[in-house]
Amino acid sequence: MTARASAPGKAILFGEHSVVYGKPAIAVAVDKRANVTIREGNDDSIHVKIPELDVYGVIDIETGLISLENDILGQENPDTFDAGILKFIKSALFRTELGSSPDHGMDITVDLEIPIGAGLGSSAAITVATLAAAARYYHHDLSLETLALTAHQVELEVQGAASPLDTTVSTHGGFLYFTHESGGVKIKPALEMPLVVGYTSQPGNTGLLVQQVRKLCNDHPTIIKPIIGLMGNVTNHARESITHGEEERVGELMNINQGLLDALGVNTDELSRLIYHARSAGALGSKLTGAGGGGSMIAYCPGKTREVLEELQSIDNAFLVGMSRKGVTW
C-alpha cells in the first residue's frame, strides 16, 4: 500500500503575530510544496526520510521515541533544528482523528520544496500532507475542515502557541483573509502578486518568537496592545486595497506593517538589510514574513521583480514565489 499527499507552503502578507491575539491576517499559498509518501515498511519502526534536509529518522511505534539514523547522518544529536520536523510527523501519525494509528512499520518520504525555518510554513505543509497521506493510508475519510483543525492541534502540541493560520492556508490554498471567528475566507486579488522572497541564513524559531512577543506584551501592555490593534487595522485596509487593485497602497501598508513588527522586536539586522535593499531596488513594499527573528522577508515589486530579485540575490538567498490556488491534494 502506498499513499501520497501534497500541501503548499504559505507567505503571510499581513498580520503575523497580531493573529495570535485574535486579529485578522492575510496569507497566500505558494507554489512550493511538501510532498509526503507513506509505504508499508519492512520492520516494526517508522522510517522517515527528508533528503532535502539530510534528515533520516526512526520513530519507535511502541514508545514514540524519535532517533536519527546516525550511521547515515553521522551525528549523535537528534535535536537539531531540522530534525525537529520529525516531531510534527510523529504527532500527525498518532492523531485519533485518523481513526487508526501505526501498528506496523512504515517508510515515509518527504520531498520538500520549501526551505525550513524560512517563515514559509514548511512545518504546517509537512503536517497537513502527512495527515492527508496517513488518512489515505488508513482508508479513513477526513474532511478538509477536520484536516485543518487536526493539523493545528499538531502545531499546538509540538510548538506551543500557534494560530491556525498556516495550517488553514496549507489545507485550502489560495489567497485567504483569516479571522478567528470565520477561519479562512478566500479573497480575490485585483492585482498580480508575484513576491520576491529573501531568505536569511538564520532559521526563525516560531515558538520562541511568539513567547518573546507575549513577554513584551505582558511587560508593556499599554504600549504593545495598541500596536497589535494597529496591525489588525493595517490588515483590514490591506484587504480593501488588494481587492481594489491599489498597488501603491498595498506596498505602503506592507511597510507600515514592517514598522510595527519591528516594534514587537522580531526584526533582525539581516532582515532589515534585505527589506531596505528591496525598497531601494524598486519594491513598493517589503516586510518580514512569518515569525521573524531570521527566516524570510517578502518584497512586492510590480514591474521591478527582476531588479529586486537580483539585488537580494547579491546579498542572500532569494527566489520568486507565485501564488497557488491548490491546497492539499491527496
Tell whether residue 221 is among the known ligand binding residues: no
Residues making contact with ligand PMV (CB under 6 A): 16-17, 19-20, 119, 121, 162-163, 165-166, 204, 206, 210, 290-291
Signed CA dihedral, 217, 222, 227, 230: sign only: positive
For the bound state, the minimum distance from the C-beta of residue 127 to ligand PMV, rounded and expressed in Å, comes to 11
Amino acid (1-letter code) at residue 279: R
Is 208 labelled a binding residue? no
Is 44 in the active site?
A: no
Minimum Å gap between C-beta 119 and ligand PMV is: 4
Record the cell numbers describing residue 288, joined without a space.
Answer: 518580514
Q: Report the residue number, 102 or 117, with the smaller CB distance to ligand PMV.
A: 117
Q: How far is the CB of 166 from ligand PMV (least distance, A)?
A: 5
Least distance (Å) from ligand PMV to the CB of residue 299?
A: 17
Nearer to ligand PMV, 121 or 251 (CB): 121
Residues 6+ apart with CB under 8 A from 266: 17, 209, 212, 213, 288, 291, 292, 293
Q: Which amino acid does the sequence have at 189?
A: P
Active-site hit among 60, 111, 166, 269: 166
Spatial contact of 14 and 26, defined as CB atoms under 8 Å apart: yes
State the DSSP code for 71: H
Please choose, from the candidates 21, 211, 9, the residue with its C-alpha nearest in 3D space to the C-alpha of residue 117. 9
- 64 known member of a binding site: no
Q: Furthest-apart CA pair in the chain: how many Å?
A: 59
- H-helix or E-strand containing 136? helix 122-137
Annotated binding-site residue? 125: yes
Least Cα distance to 172 among 7, 11, 19 occurs for 7
Q: In Å, how far from its chain's centre is CA 36?
A: 16
Can you read off the three cell numbers belonging to residue 127?
Answer: 503536517
Residue 121 annotated as lining a ligand binding site: yes
Residue 260: C-alpha distances to residues 221, 229, 230, 237 (Å): 15, 10, 8, 15
In this structure, what are the phi and psi dihedrals at residue 325, rounded to the nearest 5 degrees? -75, -20
**Cβ(318)–Cβ(45) below 8 Å:** no
Annotated ligand binding at 117? The verdict is: yes
Q: How far apart are CA 211 and CA 107, in angstroms?
A: 35
Q: Per the annotation, does 18 bind a ligand?
A: no
Element (H, E) at 109: strand 106-112
Q: Which is closer to ligand PMV, CB of 4 or CB of 10?
A: 10
**Which residues are tagged catalytic?**
166
Binding site: which residues?
Answer: 115-125
Binding site for ATP: which residues?
Answer: 115-125
